[in-house]
Amino acid sequence: MKVSTNKFVSASYDLYVGGEDGNEPELMEKATAEKPLSFIFGTGMMLEAFENNLAGLSEGASFDFTLASEDAYGEYSDEQVVDIPRSVFEVDGKIDEDVIFENNIVPMMDQNGNRLDGAVVSIGEEHVKMDFNHPLAGEDLHFIGQVLVIREPSEEEVKQLMGGGCGCGCGEEGCDGCGEHEDEANCGCGSCH
């Protein structure tokens, strides 16, 4: 069986960024055989350019490819760094310092109700500067890994991986992938642990 549309795929990989100007690339993320990346191919869950590099590979095949930033998360945009009135983050006139602190990622919504993750850049007297660029914007992504499993997905996997709940792949209603499960050990999404 080969990696193709609507197949369940699991892969292990190391993701490296940087390495320009003679610098060593930095290991940014790792998916292991014990905690692989699992997805249903061709359903929009993964970057299109990532999937294009896996298409047609067989179980056990190795891969080594680089996605240019424009094929990954785009270029870094200064327009995505905005000042938001401090009052938006205040409860009873105070900022929750357990949530709003420099470099923390804060889930927010735009005026259309779309979820956005923003990084707190700085906290001023009147504004909180937020960066809504993807953390890997402007970076070329170098993946080195192996296809571990290719098979037909089960109905349960389709439900879980295709948004049967929170979007983190666990299938739990109301979860936003941040540890809100009663039984996190059975979540399976990796981001809730």
Decide if 128 contacts 86 (C-beta within 8 A).
yes
What is the model's pLDDT at position 160? 81
State pTM to two decimals.
0.72
- Interatomic CA distance for residues 38 and 15, integer angstroms: 15
Token pair for residue 163?
A: 């948004």
What is the model's pLDDT at position 19? 75
Torsion of CA 133, 138, 140, 143, to 10 degrees: -10
List beta partners, residue 147. 11
Domains of the chain: 1-76+137-152 (3.10.50.40), 78-131 (2.40.10.330), 154-193 (no CATH)
What is the model's pLDDT at position 147? 98
What is the model's pLDDT at position 170? 46
What is the model's pLDDT at position 161? 76
Q: List the pLDDT tens digit at each of the 193 positions of the chain.
A: 999 999 999 999 999 998 777 788 999 999 999 999 999 999 988 999 999 999 999 999 999 999 999 999 999 999 999 999 999 888 888 888 888 999 999 999 888 888 889 999 999 999 999 999 999 999 999 999 999 999 999 988 888 877 654 444 444 444 444 444 444 444 444 444 3
